[in-house]
Amino acid sequence: MPDTFPGHDGDPSRRVLVAEDGSPVVSVCLPREAASVPEARRLVRRTLTGWDLPDLVDTAELIVSELASNAVRHARHGTFRLTVRRRGAGSVRLEVIDKCQSPPVRKTAGAEDDNGRGLALVEALSERWGTEPLAWGKRVWADVAPDDDPSDPAAAAGPHPFATTTVQIIYVLTVVALVAWLGVLIAEGPR
């Protein structure tokens, strides 16, 4: 199949594939450097826009940003692979594959911590996420689906109180900050 995804520039490391079920898959190998994180976001945006899935773009960009950042920070090889796989009607799976066998660890970040909230965001924003060990590394994936999936019983019940990505992020960060604040209060003990 020819490389035809939006914005394809002929780079042989970028491939358009077809999954066993016939759905499109875009895959790219990126260098393990900070500049690859915005490149991963751009690839996701172009791909989802080309697949006419604009409602997933913002959420997918945030998720892939976290997954790619983890690969840049923690992998032990010069590259990692980003794959965007179309699934069903209107959903996608984002995958980051690297050659580090250590699974990602979800941390509880304190109020003063600069890092440690990424996987909490991935969990909050994705339909589901996980990791698969490979013989030579691991695959970390997240499924992104539209908020108004008609097969979702919760969607049929009415609008979700955290219907937009921005509100979801604010909610998650607020909960994380409150938990950190409570942790500090408990650690200080009674006065």
Confidence tier at 84 by pLDDT (50, 70, 90): very high
The whole-number average pLDDT for the span 58-75 is 92
The whole-number average pLDDT for the span 134-149 is 87
Q: Please give the pLDDT value at position 148.
A: 55
The residue with tokens 């209060």 is: 185
Q: What is the 3-state secondary structure (H, E, C) of 6-54?
A: CCCCCCCCEEEEECCCCCEEEEEEEECCCCHHHHHHHHHHHHHHHCCCH
- Residue 94, φ and ψ in degrees, nearest 5: -100, 130
Cα 113 to chain centroid distance, Å, stands at 21
pLDDT of residue 1 exceeding 80: no
The residue with tokens 């691991």 is: 138
The whole-number average pLDDT for the span 25-32 is 94
Vertex 63: Cα angle to 58 and 65 (nearest 5): 95
Tens digits of per-residue pLDDT, 106-133?
Answer: 656 555 545 555 788 888 899 999 999 9
Average pLDDT, the chain: 78
Q: Which of 36, 50, 41, 38 is nearest to 4 (CA)?
A: 50
Tokens at 57, concatenated: 């773009």
